[in-house]
Structure 1
Amino acid sequence: MKLCTLSTGDDVYRYYKSIVLMFAAERKVLSTAVLNGGYQENLTAVFNHDVNPGAGMACTLRAPTYEGHMRLIAQEAGLDPDTVSGMGTAASMENVSIKTESYQTLTVTALVTGGVEVNGGRVGDPATHFQPVDKSVIYKPGTINIMLVIDADMPPGTLARALVTCTEAKTAALQELMAGSNYSNGLATGSGTDQSIVIANPASPLYLESAGKHSKLGELIGRAVKQAVKEALLRQTGLSPAQQHSVLQRIKRFGVKEENLWQEYAADNGGNVIKPRFLEHLYQLDTDPQLVTYTSLYVHLLDQFLWELLSGEEIRPAGNELLALVAGKFGVPAPVIAGPELEDCLQAWTRLVIRIVREKYSC
């Protein structure tokens, strides 16, 4: 089905588990795609394809290489594989977000699909991939894929700067959602398999040589991409401010999860407690406005400790003040941070949550 026609005259279609952007004329394209990636001026279309065959099923390649696999996808979509560039993802094309921003004669449109629950990470996180993997398997990524259409002409260098601004906007969206990395204690800056395609219109009378944060083009890129990334994540996995208004979500990236809390609670009570009852009470407490707010403050202290903006000795008294404040509001004894290390802080917060569950629900 046809989704829309952009200001450039390019049509956007969704079919065969793909979003296809058909060019009405010559375009300047810069992409991170494996199929005809890099800088190109001879492409006729770009596409984003859902490689997920279904729940629990492996994504197997239909060619010796991933590039060959994408060429087959292009052919099946009725496209010339020599003149198109395409990206793969496990996100559904039904969940695409399309956002447009304009200023005077300049129009920018972002088309985004995505998810970060599976492999969202922070740049610089420990990684394992170095040697080639099994070429017969495609790993299902939680990829954020972006097609960014700029209705203006520009030199290749500015197109590259637009790609940088686009990436910054994606990261800003994730940080505003407080999305955690799956590989460290940090906030996610993207997924491990994100891809982007940036398109400029050489037929436009508008010629721009700046796409950074001081330019209107940079502003429009930031606004369009941030909105589209947030909406795509909401549609794909429910990631949103409402979902993140949760004690467990805020502390999850530090390894504090339902099972950890249950194990400690059960140990304190000699195992004489029913797990479903404990979890029911924990989930009721999870969205308590006061506890979510103070958990957020506590977590920010931990972040500043990890970023070496505050020392362990500096966050310890501040952390103890927060613990005492929250404990007083819930009428429980305040735990004390035993030492200046991260684990000491996490253990104290874990003890506080367990005491609140016990006192508030008498389970």
Structure 2
Amino acid sequence: MLLEDTDRYALRRQGRYLYADFKRPHRVLSTCRVNGGVREDLTHVANHQSCEGVGHLVPTGTDLSCEAVHVRACAEVALPSATTALMATAANMQCAVLGHAEYADLSVTVAATAGVLSNATRAGDPAGWHEYPEGSRPLEPAPDSDVSPGERGSGTIVTLVFISQPCTPACLVRAATLVTEGKSTAVLDLRMPSIQSPGLATGTGTDQIAIAAPLARDDDWERHWAGGHNTLGELLGRATHDAVTRCLLLQNGVCAELRRSLCSALGRHGCHEMALCERARAELGPETALLFERNLLAIIHDPQSAAAAYGLAEIMDLTRAGVLHREVARESILNQAALLAAAVAVAPERFAEFRDLLRHRYALEPADLAALAVVIGFAHKWI
């Protein structure tokens, strides 16, 4: 399937592969372990689904060295292994999205695949692996996570980026930072949680990138900068953001509307569906607790409750970052928890009443206080 055809390259999807065939020489910057770095002799850049996301077993005796895997994968789709930069992911190539942006004579295309549900990380999170000469080995003990080991690594954001005008090597390096920022803002806009910390994710632990720009001909000039203040930087960021956002919907079913929930806001802090049900059983009578559980989906997706929950999550994030000092944060968390209870009860005028009820449980951890606020709000909804 031909996805895009220009005077510089042809972009095709074939089965589990997405690849660009260069029609003229390009300068390519990529993170590929084979044929990666900055190259001017590549004929193809490609992305492919190398495995299923969870529990995919490799046949015994298979050579798993980087070089052998690269050669084998290129051969499957008749790509020249010596001049192809090939990236791998568990994402479905049928969910690949093209993002476009242009200004005057300059255009950018981003071909992205993306998954984040089981591999999302925040820059600076505790790592789970360390590399040695013979390869990477897991650290002991591994970082805490609610994701089982068999599910880790099934999310990756891969971006193939094509710039229409020649760029210096330094410009491509700067472009890589803009593409990374565009990817991160897409994930942050959806408030996706890291699986390795309570923070918001900025990407995944296995993200990969390739950026290609045609080599200058006799009458061409090379662009030197791709910062956020010039048009090239804007186009890179915008096209990447749009492509990755759309990919997350197709691959993971994640979109802005579905992130509008109480648990999407507070789940990374420990206030998830199970915690809410446990709190309801502890605080309410059996009949009311059962009613709460049966209506949990409607409760957590109420727009006003979700808004109050995101406000509470932001206070907790700002406290962790040191923007809010803890002496103020505790009272702010109490106030926001009372607003959450009032939202669940659909009774904003009872804010002071709920604040007084929650004040007596002031010593609870923020996530527990939030769960209590939801339960109290529901219990008083019909009173």
Report matched runs for 1:255-270 at 5 Å. 255-269=270-284
Structure-1 residue corresponding to 2:238: 223
TM-score, with length taken from structure 1 = 0.91
Distance 2:224 2:230 in 1: 9
Q: CA separation of 1:202/1:173 partners in 2, compared to 1, >3 Å: closer, same or farther? A: same
Q: Distance in 2 between matches of 1:294 and 1:142?
A: 29
Offset from partner CA, 1:27-78 (integer Å, 9 cap, x none): 1000001121111110000110111247643356942313421221011110
Structure 2: runs of 5 or more not aligned: 138-149, 348-352
Q: Separation in 1 of the partners of 2:207 and 2:252? A: 16
**Alignment match, 1:179:** 192
SS of 1:42's equivalent in the other structure is coil
Q: Is the 8 A contact 2:342 2:377 kept in 1?
A: no
Distance change in 2, residues 1:138/1:357 (3 Å) = closer
RMSD between aligned alpha carbons? 2.6
Provide the residue aligned with 2:145 in structure 1: none
Contact 1:101–1:220 under 8 Å retained in 2: yes
Give, in angstroms, the shift of residue 183 of structure 1. Answer: 0.9
Opposite residue 241 of structure 1, the aligned amino acid is: A
Q: Percent identity?
A: 29
Match of residue 336 from structure 1: 359
- Choose which of 194, 198, 201 in structure 1 pairs with 2:211: 198
Classify 1:255/1:320 alpha carbon distance in 2 versus 1 (closer, same or farther; 3 Å): closer
The Cα shift of 1:140 comes to 4.4
Whole-angstrom distance in 2 between the partners of 1:249 and 1:311 = 25
Residue 337 of structure 1: how far off its partner (Å) = 7.8
Measure how far apart 1:239 and its partner are: 1.4
Change (3 A) 1:359 1:36: same
**Offset at residue 2 of structure 1 (A):** 1.3
Whether the 8 Å contact between 1:338 and 1:344 is mirrored in structure 2 is: no
The residue aligned with 2:330 is: 316
Q: For 1:308 and 1:338, locate their aligned partners in 2 and report how far apart those are by CA, in whole Å.
A: 24
User: Contact between 1:320 and 1:337, CA under 8 Å: does it hold in 2?
Assistant: no
Match of 1:163 in 2: 176
TM norm structure 2? 0.86
Q: 1:283-294 counterparts in 2 under 5 A?
A: 283-294=297-308
Match in the other structure for 1:118: 118
Q: Distance in 1 between matches of 2:309 and 2:136?
A: 40
For 2:80, the equivalent position in structure 1 comes to 80
* Residue of structure 2 aligned with 1:297, choices 308, 311, 314: 311
Q: Which runs of 5+ in 1 are unaligned?
A: none
Aligned to 2:29: 30
- The answer on whether the counterparts of 2:10 and 2:22 sit within 8 Å (CA) in structure 1 is yes
SS in 2 for 1:130: strand
Distance in 2, matches of 1:171 and 1:222, equals 10
AA aligned opposite 1:121: T
Give the letter for the 1:33 counterpart.
C
- Kindly indicate whether residue 320 of structure 2 is the aligned counterpart of residue 306 of structure 1: yes
- Matching residue within 253, 260, 267 for 1:252: 267
The structural deviation recorded for 1:101 is: 0.8
Q: Deviations over 1:289-320 (max 9, x none)?
A: 11111111111111100100001111222222
Aligned match of 1:57: 56
Counterpart-to-counterpart distance in 2, 1:201 and 1:109: 13
Distance change >3 Å, CA 19–CA 316, structure 1 → 2: same
Q: How many residues align?
A: 357
- The answer to which of 83-92 and 250-259 deviates more is 250-259
